[in-house]
A and B are shown apart, each in its own frame.
Chain A
Amino acid sequence: METIIGIKGKDFVMLAADSTHPHSIMVLKDDENKIHKISDSLLIAATGDQGDTVQFVEYISKNILLYKMRNGYELGPKAAAYFTRKNLADYLRTRYAYQVWLLVAGYDKKEGPQLTFIDYLANTLSVNHGAHGYGGMFCGSIFDQYHYENITQDEAYEVMRKCAREIQKRLIISQQKFHVTVVDANGVRRLDDITAENLKN
């Protein structure tokens, strides 16, 4: 029901996520953060089953931090995505399969930016742009038209605004506010929220 979207540029990855926390037919909360900062160069955006997302992302992030402590160097964004995928896949055929949909975004000084799409079946794909949730269905064509290889951060933010605007126009579920976070060579930065009010301007 919730939406997470991601865009990769030449030297950054930008993630956006709506901030609702739905509970049956109700919005329990409208300032939920779904973009989790794992380290200074790694972000995971997660949606899905309420309990599972928090529990799974916490498990993954603590293990990635443990790896850094043990080895003195960090898992790169590719390795982090494969580690996440492996855990999800191992749990898939158990009674405790995690119902989570993820976007793993990271920046590596050698490898550059990396955006990985992972679904609850542990399908994993390195992508230039990706989205999960009902809202995500509206974003595919917007990305196809407006995303290009050398897209700048400002242009990517504008594409995020286009996505949010389309979701608020066409999706029956209300998603009033989107959090936006970017990761690049300078680390992780939270950008201004995209809200229904500031989309009018």
Chain B
Amino acid sequence: MALNDILKHMPSVGDMLSDYKSTEEMDFINLSQNKVLSAPPYSNPVENLAKLHENNDNIKINFDHGTTTLGFIYQGGVVLAVDSRATGGQYIGSQSVRKVVEINDLLLGTLAGGAADCTYWYRVLTSECRLYELRNKKKISLAAATKIMNNIIYSYKNSGLSMGMILAGGDMNQVSLYYLDSDGTRTMGKVFSVGSGSIFAYGVLDSGYKWELTDEQAYELGRRSIYHATHRDAYSGGTVRVYHVKKDGWNLISEEDCLDLHRRYEAEKKK
């Protein structure tokens, strides 16, 4: 087992591992039940996993992190905008991450925090939403979908998950917006931004936001907020994607490279 090989290199964990006589005895529950995560085979994963970073002689694990995502409600629905960069420490792992997850044709979610955690649990949520549809012959509401997600996340609280999600979609014939994170928070609101670049995005977003925005103004506000975050935050960048969510479904509005946006905004400023 690969995991086992890695863990052997950790002195603190290696000792704990010796309690297990063979890999078969370790509880890889997620191989048989794909909606359950097996905890690492040692106590207190949050503390002990951090020890991987302490002794830098052996293996370095850096989880993909660093993001700017935002979502806001206005008169015409919800706008979600995201960047596309994934970083592991100082290293840019990818410039082409799709940080908006298309759960079904009514629901969208954004991912921030641990890329692995987010994609894994969004996959579980997507299947739960589809199962709900098959069982009940109707689409799941956003309130119910976020509650499912929140209950899963809450059951793994303090086990080291790292995620910050914004979910948007049609709900009782109106559009709403939820924020979820790995602390177990689930809350409805008007304006949210998550990730390392969120402080920069909020600056632009809050100063330009109002309920009466037209569709075009709203797209531009979302796009500009993410662009400014990619400019100031080293951990955000790549492509700026903008989505529009209405009560009868969502649309992908634009996908633009942040350098192209930079050139365009720079030219506009000079005029």
- A residues with a Cβ closer than 8 A to B are 21, 23, 26, 28-29, 31-32, 49-52, 54-55, 95
Contacts and interface: CB of A to CB of B under 8 A. Distances in A.
A196 B197 CA distance: 30
Given A51-B185, A52-B184, A28 B179 contact: yes
Interface of B: 153-154, 157-158, 179, 181, 183-187, 189, 192, 198-199, 202
Given A32-B187, A50-B183, 14 more contacts: A23-B181, A28-B187, A29-B187, A31-B189, A49-B184, A50-B184, A50-B185, A51-B153, A51-B157, A51-B185, A54-B184, A54-B186, A55-B154, A95-B158
A176 B268 CA distance: 38
A187 to B, nearest CB: 25
Contact of A21 (B153, B184, B187, B198): B187
Given A51-B157, A55-B154, A26 B184 contact: no
A50 B181 CA distance: 10
A26 B186 contact: no
Contacts of B158: 95
Contacts of B184: 49-52, 54-55
Nearest to B179: A28
B199 A26 contact: yes
A89 B89 CA distance: 41
A55 B179 CA distance: 16
6 nearest A-B pairs in the assembled complex, by CB-CB distance: A51-B184, A50-B185, A29-B189, A51-B183, A50-B183, A51-B154
Nearest to B180: A51
Contacts of A23: 181, 185
A147 B170 CA distance: 48
A54 B157 CA distance: 14
A72 B82 CA distance: 52
20 contacts: A21-B187, A23-B181, A23-B185, A26-B202, A28-B179, A28-B187, A28-B189, A29-B179, A29-B187, A32-B187, A49-B184, A50-B183, A50-B184, A50-B185, A51-B157, A51-B186, A52-B184, A54-B185, A55-B154, A55-B184
A31 B190 CA distance: 10
A47 to B, nearest CB: 13
Contacts of A28: 179, 185, 187, 189, 192
Contacts of A54: 184-186
Overall SS of chain A's interface: mixed
Contacts of A21: 187
Contacts of A95: 158
A24 to B, nearest CB: 10
B192 to A, nearest CB: 7
Contacts of A55: 154, 184
Contacts of B189: 28-29, 31
A26 B187 CA distance: 15
A28 B190 CA distance: 10
Contacts of B183: 49-51
> Quick one: which of B179, B181, B184, B186 has the most chain A CB within 10 A?
B184
A51 B182 CA distance: 9
A101 B249 CA distance: 41
> Quick one: which of B153, B183, B185 has the most chain A CB within 10 A?
B185
A2 to B, nearest CB: 13
A197 B44 CA distance: 48
A113 B38 CA distance: 49
B195 to A, nearest CB: 12
A176 to B, nearest CB: 14
Contacts of A52: 184
Nearest to A52: B184
> Quick one: which of A28, A32, A52, A55 has the most chain B CB within 10 A?
A28
B155 to A, nearest CB: 10
A28 B183 CA distance: 14
A23 B186 CA distance: 12
A94 B187 CA distance: 27
Nearest to B189: A29
Nearest to A25: B199
A95 B44 CA distance: 11
